[in-house]
Amino acid sequence: MTEPLADIALIGLAVMGQNLILNMNDHGFVVCAFNRTTDKVKSFLANEAKGTKVIGAFSLEEMVSKLKKPRRVMLLVKAGSAVDDFIAKLVPLLSEGDIIIDGGNSEYQDTQRRSEELEKKGILFVGSGVSGGEDGARHGPSLMPGGNSKAWPHIKPIFQSICAKADGEPCCDWVGENGAGHFVKMVHNGIEYGDMQLICEAYHIMRDGLALKPEEMSKTFEEWNRGELDSFLIEITRDILKYRDAKGHLLERIRDTAGQKGTGKWTAISALDYGVPVTLIGESVFARCLSALKTERVEASSVLTGPNDIYKGDKKVFLEHLGKALYASKIISYAQGFMLLREAAKIHGWNLNYGGIALMWRGGCIIRSAFLGNIKQAFDKNPKLMNLLLDDFFAKAMKECQESVRVVVSSAVTLGIPTPAMSTALAFYDGYRTARLPANLLQAQRDYFGAHTYELLGEEGKFVHTNWTGHGGNVSASTYDA
Ligand code: NBP
């Protein structure tokens, strides 16, 4: 019996690729599996894919010959040169209108470049964020596809079948042109860094400032998970805190140093490039960098002094403030993330659907939470919303919670417990709601030492220079030094 032609080919039989293939198979699609090391194709067909409709190929030529037209080829290989190598090998085998999808964690600039290069060759390129790890890939990931929009009608049925669903709606929609999908995935990962850091700060305060036992902390997270903080990360933190093995609580024996793969850093770099104050993600990346200085920190801990106290007030009341502070800081982090998306969309000409993006993150991925439903509603109500903090729902939430952030941050400062993410959230909030910042002095200083000129209130766009000392010149600078 001849094999049916495959709906899609998937290259890369590591954890993500294998699980996504099995997910596609479950939804009735015939997938042709391929891998650089072809032994893995044989092993996959004989084991994980045994008894399914999955077919295999042992060369790219064979794989292409087994595909329906337009051919759809999805890559789930290590980001970087492996993607370019496969594209170079695939292009001569494909025809105009065929589709290549990169589902790896590629940098969005690479996706922009690949998208533009392949468009010239008539190949439709899609860079898709895939989130949710192994379990998401197998049972429903969050998918964020962007690139050549002509590809979308051909991949939409597959993508929207296999993705996670939230309130019955698919957590996948077309994001935008060129690198938009991978940009949105990058910001998603940055937000994940922020969420995790905020939770770590709450844990740090509970452990060292309130001297709570693991079970007490776990119980608090359980309570939080029943309210507005309801999310995957709060849920797993609850479970991690109470996890015990033969030696006791495992968490307390894990080394306090965190690694990173770079997507948080990329988000912070983009924020700096585009001039958007995404301070919470930036602080979260730096917090990981500080955690990595374990040897230095151990040495410094015996030299540098500071408070080392336990909170003296009512712990129950404080824990309520902590939950609210966590929620308010999270709102600020997402507001900053969406500010970055908005600026990038302006620069790259992407027509981003912000409510749709919130829905894509609502299920299937690590940052999935009930709260993303509120973000979707905010953008559905006003697609041109300038800032999430200005939406009625979130402005009210901030009104109710901002006092708690002040209580928590000021207590943490007094206790000597670092809260870089919560502190920067509050600083951003106070900065954003301040009509008159001290940057007038900054303008004056720059003009004083570098003749950089300044604008007067009410005379915007008119740049003047003052000879502040009486012995400087009257010529203004045209270069930027500080
Ligand atoms: P890996 O990122 O570990 O990549 C393994 C695959 O890449 C194998 O198929 C391997 O082929 C292939 N590969 C490598 Br490595 N170097 C290659 C090269 N120079 N040329 C051709 N193929 C090469 O797999 P993964 O963890 O399944 O992730 C796949 C993609 O999805 C990555 O971009 C990853 O960042 C992204 N992602 C991963 C997760 C996750 O939770 N793991 C979540 C979301 C996104 P071989 O078998 O011949 O060595």
| pLDDT tens, the chain, 482 aa long | 677 899 999 999 999 999 999 999 999 999 999 999 999 999 999 999 999 999 999 999 999 999 999 999 999 999 999 999 999 999 999 999 999 999 999 999 999 999 999 999 999 999 999 999 899 999 999 999 999 999 999 999 999 999 999 989 999 999 999 999 999 999 999 999 999 999 999 999 999 999 999 999 999 999 999 999 999 999 999 999 999 999 999 999 999 999 877 889 999 999 999 999 999 999 999 999 999 999 999 999 999 999 988 999 999 999 999 999 999 999 999 999 999 999 999 999 999 999 999 999 998 899 999 899 999 999 999 999 999 999 999 999 999 999 999 999 999 999 999 999 999 999 999 999 999 999 999 999 999 999 999 999 999 999 999 999 988 777 777 665 56
Strand intervals (E) in 113-199: 124-131, 142-147, 165-166, 169-170, 176-177
Token readout for 108 is 């969005």
Q: Taking the CB of residue 311, how many other CB atoms lie within 10 A of it? A: 18
- Residue 223: what residue type? E
Question: Which ligand 1 atom is the nearest neighbour of the CA of 81?
Answer: 19
* Catalytic option among 185, 265, 324, 330: 185
- Give yes or no for residue 178 CB within 6 A of ligand 1: no
Q: Is the pTM of this model over 0.85?
A: yes
- Which residues make Cβ contacts (< 8 Å) with residue 28, sequence separation at least 6? 161
For residue 223, indicate whether it is catalytic: no
68 vs 405: CA distance, rounded Å: 56
CA-nearest residue for atom 47, ligand 1, is: 37
Q: 37 in ligand 1 pocket by Cβ < 6 Å?
A: yes
The angle formed by the CA atoms of residues 13, 15 and 17, to the nearest 5 degrees, is: 45
C-alpha 239/C-alpha 222 separation (Å) is 9
Contact present, 231 and 368 (Cβ < 8 Å):
yes
| Ligand 1 pocket: which of 18, 19, 35, 36 to mutate (most atoms within 8 A of CB) | 36
Ligand 1 midpoint to CA 78 (Å): 3
| Alpha-carbon span 260 to 435, nearest angstrom | 37
| 400 is known as an active-site residue | no
Q: What's phi and psi for 196, nearest 5 deg? A: -65, -40
Calpha distance 321→317 (Å, rounded): 7
Angstrom distance (rounded) from CA 145 to CA 163: 12
What one-letter code names the amino acid at 327?
A: Y
Ligand 1 close to Cβ of residue 262 (< 6 A)? no
Q: How far is the CA of 9 from the centre of ligand 1 (A)?
A: 16
